[in-house]
């Protein structure tokens, strides 16, 4: 009898202590009967098990602690928004346990994540929950689209786009846009270009009173090609003016075209200022700086002779032939320059009592045109061209 009363007392104490310990976890605790061993631990989220002290029966005690989610029904987009055509927007929700997205108050199926990609106009919101019984709804945001911006057009009065010498090309985009963006980086309605370039432009329309612009597709393009004819230079040798190498030449004296001179050598006629214009295609002409001649020529006092070179064309070995009316004793100055005017050979040779002068050269010539310049004391300065293969 005494043992029975003791067991009943222990049972009541265990029930009371179990109810007290479970209150901090869950109010509705499953009631049970019997007692457990001393090593029973009740931990949130786990299953506690134990056995009767007399080991004649066993039982399991289970309990659960709810997940504590605070519903955050905020959106990353706070205000109604206007998008450019084909622009996408991602709506992001605050932290919740679960999400439901709505467009125009209609549930969007298969979207239960914390973000939504907007691709259509409409009024959007989401409903979030804490996973148990609490729900909250975000504010609605209206998403709309700007009408697609028209494509601008580049207007130019120039039929071709070949840019010569100091030429510039002005390009103008059609009017009616709030902003422009050229492929060159310029943002004005019209631009100037003077270099090789492929040019196009985007037009933009402003969205309401905001600082946001919607850009169009790219316009037609204009291909500007810069002619690369180098600017010629002039050097004087005796009474001749020598232009740097090119394919076509125009000589001017005191701004007047000299029609009888069309190669790279001009015989000085009188004092004055001279210039040469050169071209490689007869479309674009490059102009030299003015060359001032202050001393009158003395070419009428110079003796004449013939000058030739063979074989021509050649790759390396060739001969320079000079034929004079009388035998000559003195120096012959020879200069060979390439098509860019860069000297390849510059030598002086003494000739003794000879009227038929034959000078050999054995140099490697790259493919192109070369000019041989010859000067004898008391004789005319002459040039002859040779082609390297």
Q: Point out the residues of the chain with pLDDT beneath 70.
A: 1-69, 156-160, 296-301
Parse the chain into domains and list their residue ranges: 2-62, 81-145, 154-206+216-226, 234-299, 302-388
Of the candidates 290, 274, 286, 275, the residue with the CA atom closest to the CA atom of residue 248: 286
CATH fold of 81-145 reads Immunoglobulin-like (2.60.40)
Asked if 162 and 154 touch (Cβ cutoff 8 Å), the reply is no
Q: Are strands 222-226 and 162-163 parallel, antiparallel or unpaired?
A: parallel
| pLDDT (0 to 100) of residue 65 | 45
Architecture of domain 302-388: Sandwich (2.60)
Quick one: pLDDT at residue 23? 40
Please state, in angstroms and rounded to a whole number, the distance separating the CA atoms of residues 351 and 320. Answer: 13
CA distance 34 to 56: 11
Tokens matching residue 206 = 């402003």
pLDDT for residue 284: 83
pLDDT at 209: 83
Distance CA 204, CA 200 (A): 14
Q: Mention every residue, 6+ apart, whose C-beta is less than 8 A from residue 360.
A: 317, 318, 319, 320
Whether the domain at 81-145 and the domain at 302-388 fall into the same CATH topology: yes
Q: What is the per-residue pLDDT across 219-241, written as a single tens digit (0 to 9) for each?
A: 988 888 877 778 899 998 878 89
What tens digit of pLDDT does each residue of 54-107 get? Answer: 444 444 444 444 455 688 999 999 999 999 988 889 999 999 999 999 999 999
- The backbone torsions φ and ψ at residue 344, rounded to the nearest 5 degrees and listed phi first, read -105, -35
Can you tell me which residue has the tokens 């909250």?
136
Choose among 160, 230, 168, 158: nearest CA to 195: 168
pLDDT of residue 218: 92
* CA atoms within 13 A of residue 318's CA, in its CB half-sphere: 23
């Amino acid at each position: 009898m005494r043992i029975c009363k003791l067991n009943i007392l222990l049972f009541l104490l265990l029930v009371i202590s179990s109810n007290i310990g479970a209150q901090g976890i869950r109010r509705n605790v499953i009631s049970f009967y019997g007692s457990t061993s001393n090593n029973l631990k009740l931990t949130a989220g786990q299953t506690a098990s134990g056995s009767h002290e007399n080991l004649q029966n066993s039982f399991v005690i289970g309990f659960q602690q709810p997940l504590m989610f605070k519903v955050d029904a905020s959106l990353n987009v706070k205000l109604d928004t206007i998008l450019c055509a084909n622009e996408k927007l991602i709506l992001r929700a605050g932290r919740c346990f679960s999400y439901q997205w709505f467009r125009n108050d209609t549930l969007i199926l298969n979207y239960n994540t914390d973000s939504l990609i907007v691709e259509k106009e409409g009024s959007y919101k989401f409903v979030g929950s804490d996973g148990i019984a609490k729900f909250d709804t975000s504010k609605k945001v209206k998403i709309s689209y700007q009408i697609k911006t028209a494509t601008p057009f580049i207007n130019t009065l120039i039929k071709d786009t070949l840019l010569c010498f100091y030429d510039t090309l002005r390009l103008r985009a059609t009017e009616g846009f709030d902003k422009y963006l050229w492929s060159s980086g310029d943002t004005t309605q019209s631009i100037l270009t003077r270099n090789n370039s492929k040019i196009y432009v985007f037009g933009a329309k402003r969205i309401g009173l905001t600082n946001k612009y919607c850009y169009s597709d790219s316009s037609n393009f204009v291909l500007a090609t810069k002619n690369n004819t180098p600017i010629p230079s002039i050097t004087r040798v005796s009474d001749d003016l020598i232009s740097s190498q090119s394919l076509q030449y125009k000589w001017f004296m005191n701004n007047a075209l000299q029609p009888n001179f069309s190669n790279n050598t001009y015989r000085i006629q009188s004092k004055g200022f001279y210039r040469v214009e050169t071209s490689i295609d007869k479309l674009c002409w490059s102009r030299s700086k003015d060359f001032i001649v202050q001393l009158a020529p003395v070419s009428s006092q110079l003796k004449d002779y013939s000058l030739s070179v063979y074989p021509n064309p050649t790759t390396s070995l060739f001969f320079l032939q000079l034929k004079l009316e009388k035998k000559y004793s003195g120096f012959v100055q020879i200069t060979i320059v390439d098509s860019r005017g860069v000297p390849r050979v510059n030598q002086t040779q003494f000739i003794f009592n000879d009227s038929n002068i034959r000078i050999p050269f054995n140099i490697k010539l790259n493919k192109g045109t070369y000019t041989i310049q010859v000067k004898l004391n008391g004789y005319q300065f002459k040039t002859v061209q040779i082609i390297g293969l």
